[in-house]
Amino acid sequence: MARYQVGIQTEARILEATREMLAEVGLEGTTLKAICDRAGIQAGSFYNLFDSKEEAVLRVVREAIRAVDPHPDGEGTDTVDDLVDAYIAFLTEEPELARIYVQIAISSGTADSAVGSRFLHHHGERVRRFADAMHRAQPGPTTETSTADAEVLIGALDGLAFRWALDPVFDFAAHARLAAGRFGGIPDARV
């Protein structure tokens, strides 16, 4: 039992060190060595828990996303507005991590198949949740139509996030709500 607790504590130290390094020096400055030094561990301990630096970074980002998720367990009660607001909250409450998420999605997602697979899985879950919320709001369209509408809306939100990552003064929230109103198929979306 003690070894298990040590592993949990080591994992927590690694994640905290990764979070701190990302906030202080960004993705490029967050090296495996810097994470290990900050966490007070050897690289072997790191690799016992994570396959790569990117895996630790993605875990930190995933935890930040989960923190603003209206229903982290995907209970099927989200509205499109809830999901768009969660996206907005992630960008506004965790701007450094949000920029890193966009950066990794664009650069590492295409160069590293494991990272790309994680992003595709996360994207698929978001599409499912958005499509479910759209279908519950307007039950007439087919599931396939709701899924296609969700892909369009998420594509618009991701494109707006990319713009925001390049131009921090860009008003992502206003444009995200506009996209929800235009592409979300939800007539009462806040604009």
Helices (H), 75-142: 80-93, 95-111, 113-137
Tell me which of 4 and 84 has the higher pLDDT.
84
* Whole-number Å distance between alpha carbons of 56 and 63: 11
* Whole-number Å distance between alpha carbons of 45 and 26: 23
Q: Are 92 and 143 in contact (CB under 8 A)?
A: no
pTM over the 0.85 mark = no
3-state secondary structure 163-176: HHHHCCCCCHHHHH
Q: Are 157 and 175 in contact (CB under 8 A)?
A: no
Per-residue pLDDT, 111: 67
What is the tens place of the pLDDT at every residue in 42-81? 999 999 999 988 889 888 988 888 887 877 776 778 899 9
Name the fold adopted by 55-183: Tetracycline Repressor; domain 2 (1.10.357)
* 1-50 maps to CATH 3.30.1310.10: no
Per-residue pLDDT, 109: 58
Parse the chain into domains and list their residue ranges: 1-50, 55-183
Residues for the chain: how many in total?
191
Same fold, 1-50 and 55-183: no
Residue 183 C-alpha from the chain's centroid: 21
Neighbours of 70 (CB within 10 A): 16
Per-residue pLDDT, 147: 93
* Whole-number Å distance between alpha carbons of 189 and 81: 6
Say if residue 189's pLDDT is above 50: no
Per-residue pLDDT, 119: 81
